[in-house]
Amino acid sequence: MGVVVPLDEARAAGERLAPLLELVNEDMNAINRIILDKAVSHVDLIPKLTHHLVNSGGKRLRPMLAIASSKLCGYTGQGHVKTAAAIEFMHTATLLHDDVVDESDTRRGHKTARLIWGNQATVLVGDFLLGQAFRMLVDVGSLAVLRILSNAAATIAEGEVMQLAAAKNTATTEDAYLSIIDAKTAALFAAASEVGAALAKRPADEEAALRSYGRNLGLAFQLVDDALDYGGDSARLGKSVGDDFREGKITLPVILSFRRGNDQERAFWNRTIVEGKIEESDLQEAIRLMKRHNAIADTLERARSYGSIAHDALAIFPDGSEKTALRDVIAFCISRAH
Amino acid sequence: MGVVVPLDEARAAGERLAPLLELVNEDMNAINRIILDKAVSHVDLIPKLTHHLVNSGGKRLRPMLAIASSKLCGYTGQGHVKTAAAIEFMHTATLLHDDVVDESDTRRGHKTARLIWGNQATVLVGDFLLGQAFRMLVDVGSLAVLRILSNAAATIAEGEVMQLAAAKNTATTEDAYLSIIDAKTAALFAAASEVGAALAKRPADEEAALRSYGRNLGLAFQLVDDALDYGGDSARLGKSVGDDFREGKITLPVILSFRRGNDQERAFWNRTIVEGKIEESDLQEAIRLMKRHNAIADTLERARSYGSIAHDALAIFPDGSEKTALRDVIAFCISRAH
């Protein structure tokens, strides 16, 4: 384990994000300032815990989508910056609660907040950040944006509860799994992409197009993430490989392998994922079974297919640097797996 | 233990609420229907867990305040009903997360949701209810109301984090404790009372008056609760007596007793509250020490003083059944302790 993705390939994936980064660069600086500013509280623990997570190397993809979609829609006001910061806070709040629910010890290679400050503080600071997010959205003053993001907040939580109910259930269907990631991951991508049209008061078809773009991008993103946890299509072992396996998470590669496997293989999945009895060589064995059944390749195939829907969703917008940047995000998400 | 408050005294306290109950009765039926309706989800666990808490015998004081304040302000629209339901959802979400953070096993004499469905589901359903609350508020469509309640959401979480930081710290000052309950309890009472003026678009001085009424009522309510946990001023032992003590909660009766006590008494508080080493007779001893130092009586004295501020805050409103009902709530809160 610990074999890192070759630098040139990682760079190649990163270069796909370059147009987006250039497009949003100035606004992202403002967003980063707001994030630091709004995490301030006379209660010490709140900024400490927030900074820990905010500075732990996330890509801030969701706020970048909000900025880019605002620009695509020709929005000329200032509300997109606070909206984007609020979206990052909502995402951060979700991560904090996720880590508590999953009992995770590491995230992006760092110790989780719950391991440093405990589950209790982590739950409560998550609540604070969600409250701050809505405060910021009220400042922006668009009821349309508030509607999009309050829907997203409820849907994300619903998705997390669905995931909890499906936990350790190897019989989860692909459909049921897609409903889960549609809610817990794609809903915020969809909302982040839609807010640009809402802020710019664009017609309903443009709002729907951006929503569809974000949703399908989010599905692709999550499926690639699932595949990467088992090494992606080359089964290279990066530093986060095996996290889902060790936490007994049901993801699409597991679902496909379980359904396509024989009795002996299902016994393997039940022992490892359901009962949590994992030995040294089991991750390698899991990857071997996945490769036998094309489970990783097919997961990535699904991701490409959602990516293609996201690509087409943008067709109604005029060509230009914003559209290119948003489409390159799809390519970036997919190419992470190679 | 288990000696119940004599029925006639309980009834006397209950009668104080009668004018409010009559005033809000019709709207509360609508609110109860909305609460059941909005707890619906295709995810089974969500309505189950919500109903468990919503039906567990809370008084719904906060939504009643929202309805009564709307009527006091002459509001004639329909937004107060959804606003009040959203406030109850926010409160319910807070209780769910509180029980997880405090590791509580019972609430209002029932098993807590976390004991039945686990901490994970309890955290996530709390998140869902908070999301639903904001969805409902967006439906109401008043940015003023959204501002009041998003501020309250962030403040409540801040108060909970403050309480966590002060946990087991017997040296907490009375001022620090008041800041905690101001945020974690009084903020939602203040918001619930203020929304009526916001919905009816009344002038700033009326909004401020209702906010002050709610805030001081909330402080009084919490302090009476603190006193009741040690039996109130007659030290009768009702069914929830001793919960705070067993959970090692720092409340005003403890703070006053600790500050006024001698070294031996402080050792007692440190052993029981801080170290959690509690023996059979310790609750009786705690109550004995509180009585020696007038800690319960003085806590109630503070409560009466906040109640008096709440009473005066309503002076600017014309006399009538609404004002009477709201003032009777203060009397109800205080009289619970006797």
Q: Residues A111, A100, B103, CA angle at the centre, nearest 5°?
A: 125
Q: A184 is written with which tokens?
A: 């817990």
Contact B125 A161 (CB under 8 A): yes
Q: B214 is written with which tokens?
A: 């709610």
Domain boundaries, chain B: 7-335
| Cβ atoms < 10 Å from Cβ of A294 | 15
Per-residue pLDDT for B237 more than 70?
no
**How far does A135 lie from chain B, in Å, by closest CA?**
5
pLDDT of residue A7: 44
**Closest C-alpha to A259, from A173, A336, A198:** A173
CATH 1.10.600.10 given to domain B7-335? yes
pLDDT of residue B49: 84
Among the ranges given (A3-7, B151-155, B178-182), the one the predictor scored with the smallest mean pLDDT? A3-7
Contact B161 A124 (CB under 8 A): yes
In single-letter form, the type of residue at position A70 comes to S
Contact A153 B138 (CB under 8 A): no
pLDDT of residue A115: 85
Q: What is the pLDDT of residues A1-42, one digit of tens each?
A: 333 344 455 556 678 889 999 999 999 999 999 988 888 888
Q: What is the pLDDT of residues A43-82, one digit of tens each?
A: 888 888 888 877 777 789 999 999 999 999 999 999 999 9
Give CA–CA dist A247/A226, Å, rounded.
13
pLDDT of residue B239: 57
CB contacts, 8 Å: B44 with chain A: 165
What's the complex ipTM? 0.91
Average pLDDT, chain A: 91
Q: What is the pLDDT of residues B279-323, one digit of tens each?
A: 989 999 999 999 999 999 999 999 999 999 999 999 999 999 999
CB contacts, 8 Å: B83 with chain A: none
Contact A131 B154 (CB under 8 A): yes
Residue B2 — very low, low, confident or very high, per pLDDT cuts 50/70/90? very low
Crossing angle for the helix pair A204-228 and A321-335, to the nearest 10 degrees: 20
Crossing angle for the helix pair B113-140 and B45-54, to the nearest 10 degrees: 90
Q: Is A9 exposed, middle or buried (0-12, 13-18, 19+ CB in 10 A)?
A: middle
Q: What is the 3-state secondary structure (H, E, C) of chain A?
A: CCCCCCHHHHHHHHHHCHHHHHHHHHHHHHHHHHHHHHCCCCCCHHHHHHHHHHCCCCCCHHHHHHHHHHHHCCCCCCHHHHHHHHHHHHHHHHHHHHHHHHCCCEECCEECHHHHHHHHHHHHHHHHHHHHHHHHHHHHCCHHHHHHHHHHHHHHHHHHHHHHHHCCCCCCCHHHHHHHHHHHHHHHHHHHHHHHHHHCCCCHHHHHHHHHHHHHHHHHHHHHHHHHCCCHHHCCCCCCCCHHHHCCCCCHHHHHHHHHCCHHHHHHHHHHHHCCCCCCCHHHHHHHHHHHCCHHHHHHHHHHHHHHHHHHHHHHCCCCHHHHHHHHHHHHHHHCCC
Rounded to an integer, the average pLDDT of B8-15 is 63
B101, B131, B143 member nearest A120 (Cβ): B101
pLDDT of residue B73: 98
Give CA–CA dist A154/A82, Å, rounded.
20
Chain B residues whose C-beta sits inside 8 Å of any chain A C-beta: 41, 43-46, 97, 100-101, 119-121, 123-125, 127-128, 130-132, 134-135, 137-138, 141, 143, 146-147, 150-158, 160-162, 164-165
A100, A123, A143 member nearest B141 (Cβ): A143
CB contacts, 8 Å: A153 with chain B: 127, 130-131, 134
Give CA–CA dist A233/A221, Å, rounded.
15
Q: What is the pLDDT of residues A87-104, one digit of tens each?
A: 999 999 999 999 898 888
CB contacts, 8 Å: A100 with chain B: 119-120, 123
Per-residue pLDDT for A239 more than 70?
no
